[in-house]
Amino acid sequence: MATGVEANIYGALSARLAALVFNPAWPISWPNIDFPGKGPDGKVKPKPPRFLEVNFLPNRTVTRTLSQGRQQHRGIYQVTVHHPSGEESLVNPLQIADRIIAHFPLGLILDQGGIRLKIYRKPYAIPQPPQNGSVTVPVTIGYETYQP
């Protein structure tokens, strides 16, 4: 189990994302883990045409009191939907983004390792123009917690 504040925040958000079930399944590209990995022959597998990519972007810690008090930890957990362009228009990747948004609703409380964090605003998606045969739809999830 993670022990630091940021590690527990990342763990709680990632566990929540991993619990979201798609049919068919969407592979997830996690930070600092080879994706899509190697096949049984030891060769790097090609990236799938549809997948989710996670980026964890903590912001600076802020003290909201005059004394030592609690520190505000805020940041963004971004889940980007990667989808082939030219297939099913923009509707399918936006529907996947909407499922992610619904899975991280405003006010959601997550607990891990003594850390309690809150989704402090409704997540949102901003589709990007197609590039290299793929369309991406980043979903921005804002979180915060107060820790000693």
Look at residue 89 in the predicted model and tell me its pLDDT: 76
Partner residues linked to 81 by β-bridges:
52, 137
Q: Is residue 47 within 8 Å of residue 74, measured between CB atoms? A: no
State how far Cα 126 lies from the chain centre: 14
Structural domain boundaries in the chain: 5-147
pLDDT per residue, tens digit, the chain (148 aa), is: 557 899 999 999 999 999 999 999 999 999 998 888 777 887 888 889 999 999 999 999 888 776 777 889 999 999 999 999 876 678 999 999 999 999 999 999 999 999 999 999 999 999 998 888 889 999 999 999 998 7
> Quick one: three-class SS letters along the chain?
CCCCHHHHHHHHHHHHHHCCCCCCCCCEECCCCCCCCECCCCCECCCCCCEEEEEEEECCCEECCCCCCCEEEEEEEEEEEEEECCCCCCHHHHHHHHHHHHHCCCCCEEEECCEEEEECCCCEECCCCCECCEEEEEEEEEEEEEEC
pTM above 0.75, yes or no: yes
- In angstroms, the CA 103 to CA 108 distance is 9
Which CATH number does 5-147 carry?
3.30.2000.20
- C-alpha dist (Å) from residue 84 to 10, 129, 133, 141: 28, 12, 6, 23
**And the tokens for 5?**
């504040």
